[in-house]
Chain A
Amino acid sequence: MLRDLRRIWAQALAIALVLGCGIMVLVGAQATQSTLIQTQAAYYERHRFADVFAGATRAPEDVVQAAALIPGVAQAEGRISFQAVLDIAGMAEPATGRILSLPAAGPALNLPLVRRGRLPDPDRPDEVALAEPFAEIHGLVPGSRLRGVLNGQLRELTVTGWVLSPEFIYTMPPGAMMPDDRRYALIWMTDAAAAAAMDMAGAVNEIAVRLARDGDERAVIAALDRLLDPYGGTGAYGRDRQVSHAFLDGELQQLGAMAAFMPPIFLLIAAFLVNMVLGRLITMERAQIGLMKALGYGRADIAWHYLKLALLIGVIGVLAGWGFGWWIADAMIGLYGDFFRFPFIIRDWGTQALVISAILGIATAGLGGLRAVWSSLKLPPAEAMQPPAPPSFARGWADRVLTRIRLRQTTMMIFRSIIRWPGRAVITLFGVSASVGVLVMSYFMFDAVERLADSVFQQANRQQVTLMLAHAQSDAAVQDALTLPGVLHAEGAYAMPVRAVHGHRNRLTALQGHFPDAELARLVDDAGRVVEPGASGLILPEMLARALDIRAGQVLRLEMMAPPRAILNLPVAEIIPQGMGQEAHIAAAALFDAMGSAPQVNMIHLSVQSDRMDDLNAAIKETPAVAGLSDWAEVRRQFDATLSENLLTMVGIYTLIGVLIAIGVVYNAARIQLSERSYELASLRVLGFSRAEVGYVLVGELMLLTALAIPLGWGFGYWLALGLVGAMSTDMFQIPFHITRRTFALAALAVFLAALGSVMMVRRRLDRIDLATALKARD
């Protein structure tokens, strides 16, 4: 067996690598997924992550006790939470902070984990603890100071420590698309200090509860909503709507999709390859097999001899897959560490995936081998000892056509070989198109993200800065904004958190009021069309409409979650495709008409001279009417930086995988061709054909198949990408499905080059054939 293995080691290795790729994805994704799941579970448990969350404008402290008494609730905790603008030394633009109060008795839910220093002292109202990522970036070690505008008052705050919390494993600033650790801070402050700053003594505006073991989440949410309704409740929600948890869960779902989606393709190809290579090996050893049979070896002995080889390939593939899988899991967990802040990692090796992948991998190789072995066993010994009959070439219709068009004979050889062994051609076609497909799918991720970025930054949000106003104001505020330094153009907007209710379904979302002729912030659908809300009625993105089970023409109830707390019943005018969209839209005129109030704005979008951003930032730090600011250019920079790093890693891995399949398939096909036809090809050299001309017969056939496989692979990739979109879309967002020509071209190019490289490697062997020897030995 070792002798056989030595003979076909390069081919065996190529197969093992393809097999290994499948196993690598399976083990890598599974190990990452289970590591994250276990880490998440342990973190939630140890730090008592709450199950249901609710907000209100201002509720008396005793609602917390009332909440704890709701059936199904094990524990309840209240706190004060509000936004603040921060002025950090060394940073021109203001940062935004979310202040969270720490109960005087010490937190019982969502326990902050002190990573450095200590929590603030109840006797020192100016002490705060910061979320570790923000503090780390700005070097705000315990003892450092920062300035913040809290409730319109400028305050000097002292840092006491760095903190992580299970509530903020993933931190998204409000209204942002990506985490922004530099410009968004979480700040823990003692209850007394927060209450004093916000005039909220004896009151809370957020409640978190932990469910009893048999607690019914839906019932608790409903009860909390009823409880908080008099106090301006903004709607209770479960973990599924908690930003940090929802993102982490979405990511875990995507990993699961990857583990289920990709490996079968590789395993199938590997099975075909084992079959092809072993089949060839057995053909070459017919005589030996016949001899063994004649000597009285049983079929089982012979079958076992070759099957061992297949299984060995399986074992190598599995081991390689495990190794690479762990390596990838490490890399991915590292990447996730940039987004998801865990204080610790409980590494899981994906034992289950290891077992499954070992079984799948070895079974794949074994099944591929079994088929090849089977056909050889059927031969009676006498026939097996004869050399195989020369292949006969039938004259089908295809052949008549080929003869008619008077090709060069070397080209004719290529076509005849394909027609004579269609099964092999199909395997090559299938394998190469699969690798094109994998590449199309992976490059498609770039397309999707670019499209998202384009839609968000180029089409929808063309403003450089958005100011969040502390309170809604008349549209005169827009004129005032024009006087800020560097502002070229200002545009008002009105956004309001709402609960959308249709039948028994409801969703927490936001309602956006659009003023006519907006130039900066516009509503854009997935096709890039700018949608102008009509005179009346709502515009909903598809996903929201689906979640609410509502169609155009039906009426949607919107309950505003902040003052003026109006309840509106509005007809849905249009449903638009918008992958990133979660919000309801309406023309400002229609909105204020329905509310029966004068037009107002609570956001102002600005276009700003780029060289005057610093002046603007400085001015805004001093403007109490502004509660927050988004710098879209900065958001875009962050978005690009984070995504390009992550995507490059992922795309690199997939490219490697796609290219490995192409190499595995084409290299094996070429080696088999070479071993079967070396005699024939050497004959051509004897007749005076040059190396290049002879190489053409070998290279030409495989490259022709590769060329044919590319369009098939495009189709396959299209289908894979569609599947990926389905598997990866979460409640939070949907990946836009649009594949660019660049993706198709790149995938084709990469596979073409990989195939060419593989054939050329085999061609070099062909070039080295010693003519005199080749002619002497038949096979």
Chain B
Amino acid sequence: MVHDSSPLPVFRAEGVTRVYKTGTVEVWALRGVDLRLAEGEMVVLLGASGSGKSTLVNILGGLDLPSGGRVFFRDRELTQASDRQLTAFRRDHVGFVFQFYNLVPSLTARENVALVTEIARNPMTPEEALDRVGLAHRMDHFPAEMSGGEQQRVAIARAIAKRPDVLLCDEPTGALDSKTGIQVLEALHEVNRDLGTATVLITHNAAIQRIAHRVVVLADGRVIRDDANAERVLPAQVSW
């Protein structure tokens, strides 16, 4: 799986810019980003705080629209899509994992996953998804009754239960200690390996980059590095 061998990438971003206007001040979060993500590929996105990582991933996931440039999901141009189409796009194709889990506190683990499987086209069962992240035994617990690592794994189960085409993870281990962080990375790794889900993983932790096929580094709204990893390691071999 080499990044540019595939004729039709999952994502293709061309000259993407994003300008935030707050009052009279303009902040250029992205200053022309070109990026491709191939089928089944796992990319780690690195960069200093404020370099535009979240902004880029939000645009890829259809949560935000760029100020300029074009973004394609397979053969569809997201930058032309309506709000309704973007919603359908997220529903059918994208799984999100965030730093703060974003679980619905009033629903149990199983119900949080079922939330998505009820509206997905070809989902796995909530039980299967939770089993994949090693949480079969905590299915009927509410988020408040679980540790951060467990909550994050529920979030991953929820993201993968619809069998998404891409998984977008914004600092999924940011709030976790290294041991639980590694469990979460293992879950992501297995999903990528077993289901072939293309994955973008934002992290501040340089150690994590070694589990990816490819590493992209942003600085000040631009891609300053885009390298394939010569060799990948398993999450279990990473430590920080």
Contact = CB atoms under 8 A, between A and B. Distances in A.
Nearest to A774: B63
Interface string A396-435: 0000000000001110110011001000000000000000
Interface in B68-120: 83-84, 87-92, 94, 96, 98, 100, 102-107, 111-112, 114-116, 118-119
Contacts of A690: 84, 87
Given A392-B142, A393-B105, A772 B64 contact: yes
Contacts of B105: 390-391, 393, 680
Central interface residue in A416, A683, A687, A772, by most chain B CB within 10 Å: A687
B207 interface: no
B58 interface: yes
A417 B144 CA distance: 15
Interface in B125-142: 142
Interface string A372-407: 000000000000000001111100000000000000
Interface string A766-779: 00000110011010
Contacts of B90: 686-688
A299 interface: no
Contact of A688 (B55, B92, B107): B92
B64 A413 contact: no
A409 B64 CA distance: 26
Contact of A409 (B63, B88, B98, B107): B107
A183 B107 CA distance: 73
A223 B158 CA distance: 95
Nearest to A694: B87
B28 to A, nearest CB: 16
B79 to A, nearest CB: 16
A685 interface: yes
Contacts of B83: 691
A420 B118 contact: no
B115 A772 contact: no
B143 A778 contact: no
A409 B96 contact: no
Contacts of A686: 61, 63, 90, 96, 102
B91 A409 contact: no
A393 B106 contact: yes
A592 interface: no
B107 A412 contact: yes
B88 A683 contact: no
B226 interface: no
A409 B114 contact: yes
A736 B132 CA distance: 70
Contacts of A408: 118
Given A687-B116, A689-B87, A772 B63 contact: yes
A416 B106 contact: yes
B99 to A, nearest CB: 9
B177 interface: no
Contacts of B92: 688
B227 interface: no
B107 A772 contact: no
B124 to A, nearest CB: 16
A393 B91 contact: no
A419 to B, nearest CB: 9
Central interface residue in B105, B106, B111, B114, by most chain A CB within 10 Å: B106
B142 A409 contact: no
Interface in A674-716: 679-680, 683-691, 693
A417 B104 CA distance: 11
A687 B96 contact: yes
B87 A417 contact: no
Nearest to A683: B102
* Chain A residues touching B, range: 20 to 34
| Chain B interface mostly | helix
A413 B119 contact: no
A412 B100 CA distance: 22
A390 B116 contact: no
A413 B61 CA distance: 25
A160 B143 CA distance: 91
Contacts of A778: 100
Contacts of A412: 106-107, 111
B215 to A, nearest CB: 24
Interface in A266-289: none
B170 to A, nearest CB: 9
A389 B105 CA distance: 11
A89 B63 CA distance: 82
A392 B144 contact: yes
Contacts of A389: 144
A689 B119 contact: yes
A397 to B, nearest CB: 16
Contacts of B118: 408-409
Nearest to A394: B142
A408 B89 CA distance: 22
B145 A409 contact: no
B106 A410 contact: no
Central interface residue in B63, B89, B98, by most chain A CB within 10 Å: B63
Given A689-B119, A771-B64, A409 B111 contact: yes
Given A393-B142, A688-B88, A413 B106 contact: yes
B107 A390 contact: no
Interface in B35-59: 54-55, 58
Nearest to B126: A409
Contacts of A689: 87, 91, 119
Given A409-B115, A687-B116, A416 B100 contact: no
Contacts of A390: 105, 143-144
B93 to A, nearest CB: 9
B115 A687 contact: yes
Contacts of A391: 105-106, 144
Contacts of A413: 104, 106-107
Interface in A723-779: 771-772, 775-776, 778
A689 B120 CA distance: 10
A392 B116 CA distance: 22
Given A390-B144, A393-B144, A688 B104 contact: no
Contacts of B103: 683
B106 A688 contact: no
A686 B98 CA distance: 11
Contacts of A409: 104, 107, 111-112, 114-115, 118
A688 B143 contact: no
B97 to A, nearest CB: 11
Interface string B138-180: 0000111100000000000010000000000000000000000
Nearest to B143: A390
Interface string A649-692: 00000000000000000000000000000011001111111110
Nearest to A775: B98
Contacts of A417: 106
Contacts of A684: 104, 115
Contacts of A685: 87
Contacts of B107: 409, 412-413, 416
A294 to B, nearest CB: 25
A420 B112 CA distance: 17
Interface in A539-562: none
A693 B84 CA distance: 12
Nearest to A773: B64
B104 A683 contact: yes
B115 A410 contact: yes
Contacts of B144: 389-393
9 contacts: A390-B143, A393-B142, A683-B102, A686-B63, A686-B102, A687-B91, A688-B88, A688-B89, A689-B119
Interface of A: 389-393, 408-410, 412-413, 416-417, 420, 679-680, 683-691, 693, 771-772, 775-776, 778
Closest CB pairs A-B (n = 5): A688-B91, A416-B106, A688-B90, A409-B115, A683-B102
Given A409-B107, A772-B55, 14 more contacts: A390-B105, A408-B118, A412-B106, A412-B107, A413-B106, A684-B104, A686-B102, A687-B90, A688-B92, A689-B91, A691-B87, A772-B54, A775-B102, A776-B54
